[in-house]
Homo-oligomer: A and B are copies of this chain.
């Protein structure tokens, strides 16, 4: 297992610096015969781009065309069973903005940690600690999605912001989430208070401030019996997947921390919501509900204002979390093929 590698069966290797030549991913382990739907790939990359899911523009202004190029593993629109390599070239790399960062690392940012660890770093735009690295994850996740679309067509992965700074979804709003078009909300916060949230973020961006938040991932109709005891329970691989995303600092399955206060007799007579669709580390086939918390973005000091950063990372992180979810599902779906003879 190497550092930029994820998965045990559907194995991806991510590469690329924020301001280097290109970002990319190699997927090794995708079976042959999967229909390769380029539209899914393009759509997911588009959804990851700043300000392109809704009408607003409350996120970092970096604009990359992000046109994916499939280098291998696909022929006549089907996967070959060989490694699938996909890259995106960096075009809009305003490294000028970041030059002065070289000697003045951003507070709370990964830059200085990486420099000390490796003794040498690409200081331009955070190098590989930049959020731009997630392009690779989104591309790999799109392929994982293609695999699941064929093998478990009813499975749906839906991410949304349930909290952005002081704003949280109300119980009523929550109930309606599955019927909403999340991307039609500027901050992917499915509420009619979405405009207020957008204004808060705009004002934070102007004043050099930022907010944390919470994203939720709802998996509807997941395949049942995914998860490998004991160290690759579905919940533990999902936790690793989500916590590998920058700025995350919390993970919950179902009730999560709230369950500490609930008596067992109440918890277990409760519905699937309490345990979140995973029991004994294995998917039951019921909906899986996951929550991920994000700290406020760190690029808030003077030097970085010129950098193009988000006042709240949650909105943009949602396609990334969805991608990580598809990857874990694809990995475990393949793994489950050898559970028994």
Contact = CB atoms under 8 A, between A and B. Distances in A.
A235 to B, nearest CB: 5
Contacts of A110: 229, 279-282
Interface in A59-117: 69-73, 75-76, 78-85, 87, 107-111, 113-114, 116-117
A28 to B, nearest CB: 4
A199 interface: no
Interface stretch (A14-22, A50-58, A187-195): A14-22
B31 A268 contact: no
A15 B243 contact: no
Q: Find the residue from A87, A257, A281, A340 having the highest chain B CB count within 10 A.
A: A257
Interface in A242-259: 242-244, 246, 248-257, 259
A300 B265 CA distance: 7
| Identical chains bound together, number | 4
Contacts of A166: 261
A118 B259 CA distance: 29
A293 interface: yes
Given A3-B28, A339-B81, A119 B72 contact: no
A319 interface: no
Contacts of A5: 11, 28, 231
A20 B260 contact: no
Interface in A208-261: 208-214, 224-225, 227-233, 235-244, 246, 248-257, 259-261
Interface stretch (A39-47, A125-133, A170-178): A125-133
Contacts of A229: 3-4, 82, 110, 114, 128-129
A237 B235 contact: no
B82 A4 contact: yes
The bracket for how many chain A residues form the interface is 35 or more
Q: Find the residue from A227, A229, A265 having the highest chain B CB count within 10 A.
A: A229
A153 interface: no
Interface string A196-211: 0000000010001111
A97 B253 CA distance: 31
Contacts of A212: 259-262, 264, 267
Nearest to A124: B75
B264 A300 contact: yes
A141 interface: no
A150 interface: yes
Interface of A: 1-6, 8-9, 11, 13-17, 20-24, 26, 28-29, 31-34, 69-73, 75-76, 78-85, 87, 107-111, 113-114, 116-122, 127-129, 133, 147, 150-151, 163-166, 204, 208-214, 224-225, 227-233, 235-244, 246, 248-257, 259-265, 267-268, 274-276, 279-282, 284, 291, 293-298, 300, 311, 334-341
7 contacts: A13-B28, A15-B85, A108-B267, A108-B268, A110-B282, A113-B282, A264-B298
